[in-house]
Structure 1
Amino acid sequence: MGITAAPIGDATADTDADAGQAGTGRFITPGFKLGFALVTSLFFLWAIANNFNDILIRHFQKALDLNRAEAGLIQFVFYLGYFLMALPAGMLMRRFGYRAGILCGLGLYALGAVLFYPAAEIRAYGVFLAALFVIASGAAFLETAANPYIVAFGDPARASQRLNLAQSFNGFGGFVAPIIGGMFIFSGVEHSAAELAAMSPAELTAYRVSEAQMVQMPYLTLAGIVICIGIAIALVRLPRISHDRASAGTLSGLRSVLREPALAGAVIAQFFYVGAQVGVWSFFIDFVKELSPATPERTAAFLLSLSLVLFMAGRFIGTALMQRISATRLLLVFATIDIVLIAIAAFAPGIVAVGALTLTSFFMSIMFPTIFSLGVKDLGDRAMLGAPLIIMAIIGGALFPPLMGLASQAIGDVIQPTMLLPGLCFAVIAFYARRTHRAERRRHAAVPPLP
């Protein structure tokens, strides 16, 4: 995989230099620091979109009179967008490059955010879901581009550290999103079922219309920010990655990368990881309200934000720990701890359960970037085909929230025991980490020592 600083608009990739040779040993190659900062900002942006959904699940139950299973469709549609658009994103980037993929993603993201305005005006759940699908399609382009592109900004040997650093800003976006949502999407007006039943039809409609319109300004503001970043990305100097375009998007190329055991294992592990993460965060506010009914929604949203602070901190701490501990071993340790925490959350009372569920985010922190980097690190220029397959595995986030919502209704409309489903996902990740760690040790043992 070669890189060079190509001029803007130059579609030619005419270098044969290896990516690592562009800045051997360097964390970021000189000349690309601003580009790295802008690509890193994309991790923040899709975190905002993802974590706003956790607010919307609770908010739309009020504004649109939905039950938990219906509200869970928010995540289903959102991650369905990821699943359907990741592969087209990869093929587009194989043909036109990473910059084109990023700009396409930002355009779709901004369009979906703007669509929230008319959706709120007509208060139609289907239109909201369509807008979320468009945002998710844009986010799929951004994730498919940004995760492997981070490799091109410096020494490939330090790619896992660089990706974990970039993903730390994803954690920061996750931390900020519940605070913004709690302040500007939640109105602070909460009515009990009895109070709603006592309202006249006109009063009830006015209340729900007012709640639905709370989403308009946050999403319009988000669209404006996305457009500004798109302009900057169009102008900034970025690495140019060369690749064999002859096989771009071919079925033979896809079959080739799928034969790589590391990639296939990463796709499966990522499916269960995203299912666990989205399942926990989607119903975190409902979980807090169930175990502590007197807790206001905004306070529950701030608790979710605290959990995501731990998620962000885990990314930075995990990046540092990987200088001393192998990525696979650390992944195994963190997954095992999350299994224990989920068991406590599912069975313990009150504050103990809430505390355990809050702590799971810290140990989830390294999972996505670590699984991703393990899956693509040996693919070379085929990473443009391998990366979309891992992004497609995000479909796990579409399946688990509705499944948890249905399970909740089946057992008496309680959410606490359904947290065992994310626990099963963490068990799969632990198995993947253990197996991958053993394979790494076998490879290292097979390499003869230097004379």
Structure 2
Amino acid sequence: MRNKYLIPLSLIFSLFFLWAISSNLLPTMIRQLMKTCELNAFEASFTESAYWIAYFIFPIPIAMFMKRFSYKSGIIVGLLLAAVGGLLFFPAASIKQYWAYLMIFFIIATGMCFLETAANPYVTALGSQETASRRLNLAQSFNGLGAFISAMFLSKLILTGYNYTRETLPQDYPGGWDGYIQMETDAMKLPYLCLAALLILIAIILIFSKLPKIDDEKNDNKGNTKLINFKVLKRSHLKCGVIAQFFYNGGQTAINSLFLVYCCMYVGLPEDTATIFFGFYMLAFLAGRWIGTMLMVKFRPQDMLFVYSIVNIILCGIIMIFGGMTGLYAMLGVSFFMSIMYPTQFSLAINDLGEDTKSGSAFLVMAIIGNACIPQLTAYIMNHNKDVYYFAYIIPLICFFFTAYYGWKGYKIKD
């Protein structure tokens, strides 16, 4: 990494931290919205759908925007848009309707989609191609840090530890049922206010910072390239990468989003204990990112992707067979071995795309739509088979077969 890239990379690394805070608050919000909006696990899982569907709708328009302007412009717009979404939690606390929260998550996700469409290819371009996977894994380590902070600390600000129903609420509770719901609703506002303030601060810093233009941006300024190139999907390693990202993202989010539900509803842990386990779960993810980045000095990224995927197939099998606390500990292992998958697949998939890097990045980000359907399928199976709830983890198990194939053969550049 050359010194001239140190400051811009540091700024971009902060973006990975920010969108991790946003996306990894979703499992906590699913648990909280089950209480405030009186939802079951399947209904609450559409919180994920509202968030991740933005990643399917907007990457192409965002890539066109950045092609016309710059990575920097896209990042600043994304930061401000996500900040607006965070501030909307205050009027939503008065409305107290599930649809209002779904709209807010959609707005926040649209802003974060700007960041992710820009930051991933930008990091791979700031340096040599040989170290692109390692550099992106390092950047994604800050994503893991944000995930850990969301799980271990911010979740405790949101989850109050109370889990009353209309039937179990104490008769002398101040304000009755409405008072309880208002207390639970108000608990959601502070973390998103802090997130919005941080987003605005980073946006201001970036406005007055100079980010270097990379090769594909210099070509864009010549006016001789398309705003989006759909033909890039003919590149087999990119096409396989998009498929692998669809299934990886869906499998990861299925496990993430249902983690607290699994702990509280099926293992029977109290919320404060469940959030501690969730913190350890994300700490394992963070550790996996750091260790994986170091291991890539000696091992090829595609080989690590293949081995890690096989290990996770085995661990998901353990969850399916045993469930309970055994399954919970297996999930900690799954988190560790999932850690390198997204950035490794991303960097391998955009390798050798040249001026079509923004287009390739857009399609890879669109693959995150897996988060909007695979977790719902997992939640549906879990919710309708409560005696054998752990069998639902066959869904992420299948997903890891696709990541294993990509690390084995799919990454190869053939055309």
Aligned to 1:283: 258
Aligned to 1:302: 276
Matched, 1:341 2:318: no
Matched, 1:124 2:97: yes
1:136-155 matches, cutoff 5 A: 136-155=109-128
Matched, 1:66 2:39: yes
Distance 1:115 1:129, change over 3 A: same
How much has 1:235 moved relative to structure 2? 1.4
Aligned to 2:305: 331
Aligned to 2:51: 78
Q: Which amino acid aligns with 1:98?
A: Y
Aligned to 2:371: 397
Q: Is the contact made by 2:173 and 2:180 (CA closer than 8 Å) also made in structure 1?
A: no
Question: Deviation digits for residues 367-392 of structure 1, max 9, x if unmatched?
Answer: 00010001101101210111000000
How much has 1:135 moved relative to structure 2? 0.5
Aligned to 2:134: 161
Q: Which amino acid aligns with 1:268?
A: I
Distance 1:309 1:292 in 2: 21
Q: Which of 322, 342, 347 lines up with 2:296 in the alignment?
A: 322
SS at 2:109's partner residue?
A: helix
SS at 2:213's partner residue?
A: strand
Name the stretch that deviates more: 311-320 or 235-244. Answer: 235-244
TM-score by length of 2: 0.94
How much has 1:161 moved relative to structure 2? 1.0
Q: Is the contact made by 2:25 and 2:155 (CA closer than 8 Å) also made in structure 1?
A: no
Distance 2:99 2:156 in 1: 25
Matched, 1:267 2:242: yes
Distance 1:41 1:52 in 2: 17
Q: State the number of aligned residues.
A: 410
Distance 1:85 1:39 in 2: 20
Distance 1:193 1:430 in 2: 47
Matched, 1:173 2:149: no
Aligned to 1:254: 230
Aligned to 1:13: none
Structure 2: state its 5+ residue gaps.
Answer: none
Q: Is the contact made by 1:182 and 1:302 (CA closer than 8 Å) also made in structure 2?
A: no
Matched, 1:216 2:189: yes
How much has 1:193 moved relative to structure 2? 7.1
Distance 1:31 1:383 in 2: 22
Structure with larger Rg: 1
Distance 1:56 1:70 in 2: 13
How much has 1:200 moved relative to structure 2? 9.4
Q: Which amino acid aligns with 1:249?
A: L
Structure 1: state its 5+ residue gaps.
Answer: 1-26, 444-451
Q: Is the contact made by 2:15 and 2:115 (CA closer than 8 Å) also made in structure 1?
A: yes
Aligned to 1:228: 201
Distance 1:285 1:415, change over 3 A: farther
TM-score by length of 1: 0.87
Q: Which amino acid aligns with 2:374?
A: F
Q: Which amino acid aligns with 2:219?
A: H
Q: Name the % identity.
A: 37
Question: Deviation digits for residues 53-75 of structure 1, max 9, x if unmatched?
Answer: 01000010011111111101100
How much has 1:298 moved relative to structure 2? 2.0
How much has 1:201 moved relative to structure 2? 12
Matched, 1:56 2:29: yes
Q: Which amino acid aligns with 1:246?
A: N
Distance 2:211 2:247 in 1: 33
Distance 2:307 2:297 in 1: 16
Q: Which amino acid aligns with 2:331?
A: L
Q: Is the contact made by 2:285 and 2:336 (CA closer than 8 Å) also made in structure 1?
A: yes
How much has 1:268 moved relative to structure 2? 0.1
Distance 2:174 2:49 in 1: 31
Q: Is the contact made by 2:120 and 2:136 (CA closer than 8 Å) also made in structure 1?
A: yes
Q: Is the contact made by 2:241 and 2:410 (CA closer than 8 Å) also made in structure 1?
A: no
Q: Which amino acid aligns with 1:188?
A: G
Distance 1:319 1:377 in 2: 18
Q: Which amino acid aligns with 1:297?
A: E
Distance 1:364 1:127 in 2: 32
SS at 2:25's partner residue?
A: helix
How much has 1:188 moved relative to structure 2? 2.0
Q: Which amino acid aligns with 1:323?
A: V
Distance 1:415 1:300 in 2: 18
Aligned to 1:429: 403
Q: Is the contact made by 2:311 and 2:337 (CA closer than 8 Å) also made in structure 1?
A: yes
